[in-house]
Amino acid sequence: MAITEDEARKVAHLARIAVNDADLPALAQELNGILHFMEQLNEVDVDGVEPMTGVEPMRLKRREDVVTDGEMQDLILKNAPDAREGFFAVPKVVE
Amino acid sequence: MSDLNKLTIAGARDALAKGETSAVELTEACISAIDASGALNAFVHGTPDMARQMAAAADQRIKAGNAQPMTGIPVGVKDLFCVKNVPSQSASRILDGFLPQYESTVTQNLWDQGAVMLGKLNQDEFGMGSSTENSVYGATVNPWKLGDGVARTAGGSSGGSAAAVAADLCLGATATDTGGSIRQPAAFTGTVGLRPTYGRVSRWGVIAYASSLDQAGPITKTVRDAAIMLGAMASVDAKDSTSAERPVPDYEAALTGDIRGKKIGIPKEYRIEGLSDEIDGLWSRTAEMLKDAGAEIVDISLPHAKYALPAYYVIAPAEASSNLARYDGVRYGRRAKLGAGDGVVEMYEKTRAEGFGPEVRRRVMIGTYVLSAGFYDAYYNRARRVRALIKRDFDQAYASGIDAILAPTTPSSAFALGSADSSNPVEMYLNDVFTVTLNLAGLPGISVPVSLDQQGLPLGMQLIGRPWEEGELLNFAQVLENASGFVAKPTRWW
């Protein structure tokens, strides 16, 4: 499988990373080099092997469904590039 | 006492207990060393005021008779650990100006023991790299310099931590290891680097790279120091759902020096094509040292080890693309300057394009690709199946009675900064060939400095332990440390 310039553009958009058209050929080439390296995995017989999800078989921890945290709006907004009136502010969203 | 910054953690602890020095004096010695270390670019955010306050409090605590092993010990912290109100940006431009309003569990554990915070240490951006060149702060320079004057890498991603410990800027440093990021820098700088079993140390407040692989551990001057520092960093933590419900043992007590009758495995698949005679010879000599101490050396096979690197470079970017989706210019860090009419999508795309460095952009995009519809099974699920086979290889070796595995940490000593071909990222990935396997299996591993190469640069050997047996692993490592007699230090040029 090889990534074309168009596919590189699509991946960049899915990843929400702006890439100039002029940089797409080099990007496609880099991504292809990495994918080519990954293709060694096709040599392995993985029939009947379950994909690994965690390193230790352990049940995800559970706790009482109660509020344990909160009431810290100031702290949460403190690092925002643009916070107004208790909200995160973003440019206008027009669909 | 002079040169207090050159003490080991164990040495400083004992001197503090006897009243031969104070935490304030130790801390001042480290602050002076840091102030004179600009050429190394290891410390990137100093916190001298905080250090002085913490040292004074530690001295009070020692006087009151409440000291713990790390009380009054000055340490450095890898940038990606969140420390409250101290810049913590994982060496990324996208987290410019970010001041965490909470504390990582690892650093909280250290401060609870009375350790002293000297500052934040350089690294590759989000842990992605093997040379600490992918950093918004610029590269860290290895304190080991030869007559050729060439500036070499301190390894990565925890290059700042390794360089700072090697140069005696701090007594120990926190680090993280996703694919080798503790062990490879330790090997390149003549220091000890321990990556614990996945789940031993909490990931809460550690800026994430690949959550199923990331694990924090110490970089120190000696194996004993690694035992002391791991004991302080590790804990059972309700804030991390993958933190193991296992009590933290006394690792220092495990350093008995007795390894008689233990079985050390030598994996034949690590004898890769092109392995230098020098590394191969060192491997045999160190196996001989463990044998002389009473261990049995056994040839073993890990048939899927050669697929660890490609599997890693599918799984880690996939997890990174998901973890790094949070950097959107809305909640923290930096937002790009927007043009008139730019909407929210332009805000995301511009912010991430200028906030992430080239390697991070590359891995996020690769991760996005392998997780995208139509490729998820071919790449991501296949890699996770291969990962299961890699883990099974280790399970079988340990089930057959092997106690630890011995292998080189790196294929070479530290390479020159700027020597990597930026158009061929895979070349840099090959640095992780010996380290990455155990991350996929979740196992503990340690790099111990054992020798200088022909040029005079340090080389490390790696021991891989059974899950949760860091104590036994440290015991093997200390036997190797003592037998090799490695004591070399870099000559100061900075």
Q: Is the residue at B343 inside a domain?
A: no
* Test mutation, A16, A23, A66, A82, chain B, max B CBs within 10 A: A16
Between A90 and B425, where is the model more confident? Answer: A90
Statement: residue B456 has pLDDT above 70 = yes
Average pLDDT in the B214-224 region? Answer: 98
Q: What is the pLDDT of residue B421?
A: 78
Between B60 and A58, where is the model more confident? Answer: B60
Average pLDDT in the B311-320 region? Answer: 97
B102's tokens: 């909470």
Tokens 């292998």 correspond to what residue? B407
Q: For residue range B110-168, what is the model confidence (pLDDT) as tens digits?
A: 999 999 999 999 999 999 999 999 999 999 999 999 999 999 999 999 999 999 999 99
Domain of B205 in residue numbering reads as: 4-259+450-459+469-484
Question: Where residue B39 sits, what CATH number does that domain have?
Answer: 3.90.1300.10
CA distances, B63 to each of B17, B22, B70, B112, B297 (Å): 9, 10, 15, 17, 48
Cα–Cα distance, B432 to A20 (Å, whole number): 31
Tell me if chain A has a CB within 8 Å of the CB of B259. no
Average pLDDT in the B292-305 region? Answer: 98
Edge-to-edge strand list for the sheet holding B192-195: B43-46, B116-121, B74-78, B172-176, B216-220, B192-195, B445-452, B458-465, B404-408, B263-267, B296-300
Q: What is the pLDDT of residue A56?
A: 80
Q: B366–A31: do the CB atoms touch at under 8 Å?
A: yes
Residue of chain B with shortest Cα separation from A39: B310
CA distance A2 to chain B (A): 12
Cα–Cα distance, B348 to B359 (Å, whole number): 18
Tell me if chain A has a CB within 8 Å of the CB of B337. no
Q: What is the pLDDT of residue A55?
A: 82
Catalytic residues of B: 78, 157, 181
Q: B344–A88: do the CB atoms touch at under 8 Å?
A: no
The domain tally of chain B equals 1
Q: Whole-structure pTM over 0.80, yes or no? A: yes
Nearest to B331 among A19, A58, A79 (CB): A79
Least confident range from B130-134, B218-222, B271-275, B311-315: namely B271-275
Statement: residue B422 has pLDDT above 80 = no
* Test mutation, A41, A63, A76, chain B, max B CBs within 10 A: A41
Residue of chain A with shortest Cα separation from B323: A15
Cα–Cα distance, B416 to B136 (Å, whole number): 19
A30: left (phi over 0), alpha (psi -120 to 50) or beta: alpha
Statement: residue B366 has pLDDT above 80 = yes
Average pLDDT in the A24-50 region? Answer: 94
Instruction: Look over chain B and give the mean of its residue pLDDT values, rounded to a whole number.
Output: 96
Residue (of B171, B129, B366, B373) closest to A38 by Cα position = B366
Q: For residue range B39-78, what is the model confidence (pLDDT) as tens digits?
A: 999 999 999 999 999 999 999 999 999 999 999 999 999 9
Q: Is the residue at B423 inside a domain?
A: no
Residues of B in contact with A78 (CB under 8 A): 99, 101
Q: A49–B328: do the CB atoms touch at under 8 Å?
A: no
Percent pLDDT > 70 in chain B is 100
CA distance B363 to chain A (A): 9
B477's tokens: 């490592």
Q: A17–B366: do the CB atoms touch at under 8 Å?
A: no
Cα–Cα distance, B233 to B174 (Å, whole number): 9
List helix spans (H) across B356-422: 358-370, 382-399
Q: What is the pLDDT of residue A95?
A: 64
Cα angle: B149, vertex B150, B155; to 5 degrees: 135
CA distances, B489 to each of B25, B68, B76, B297, B471 (Å): 23, 29, 19, 30, 26
Residue of chain A with shortest Cα separation from B309: A38
Q: What is the pLDDT of residue B430?
A: 83
CB B77 within 8 A of CB B83: yes
User: Is there a cis peptide before residue B212, judged by omega within 30 degrees of 0?
Assistant: no
Average pLDDT in the B245-249 region? Answer: 95
Average pLDDT in the B355-380 region? Answer: 95
Q: For residue range B79-88, what is the model confidence (pLDDT) as tens digits?
A: 999 999 999 9
Residues of B in contact with A13 (CB under 8 A): 349
Q: Is the residue at B358 inside a domain?
A: no
Residues of A in contact with B238 (CB under 8 A): 61, 63
Q: What is the pLDDT of residue B204?
A: 98
Confidence of residue B245 (pLDDT cuts 50, 70, 90): very high
Statement: residue A57 has pLDDT above 80 = no
Q: Is the residue at B283 inside a domain?
A: no
Statement: residue B463 has pLDDT above 90 = yes
CB B180 within 8 A of CB B215: no
Give the DSSP letter of residue A39.
G
B 233-252 residues with CB < 8 A to A: 238, 241-242, 244
Cα–Cα distance, B298 to B132 (Å, whole number): 36
Average pLDDT in the A73-79 region? Answer: 96
Residue of chain A with shortest Cα separation from B429: A34
Can you give the residue ranges of every domain in chain A?
5-43
Residue of chain B with shortest Cα separation from A20: B353
Statement: residue B1 has pLDDT above 60 = no
CA distance A64 to chain B (A): 12
CA distance B161 to chain A (A): 26
Q: Which residues contact B416 (CB under 8 A, 6 or more apart)?
A: B150, B151, B152, B153
Q: Is the residue at B182 inside a domain?
A: yes
Statement: residue B269 has pLDDT above 70 = yes
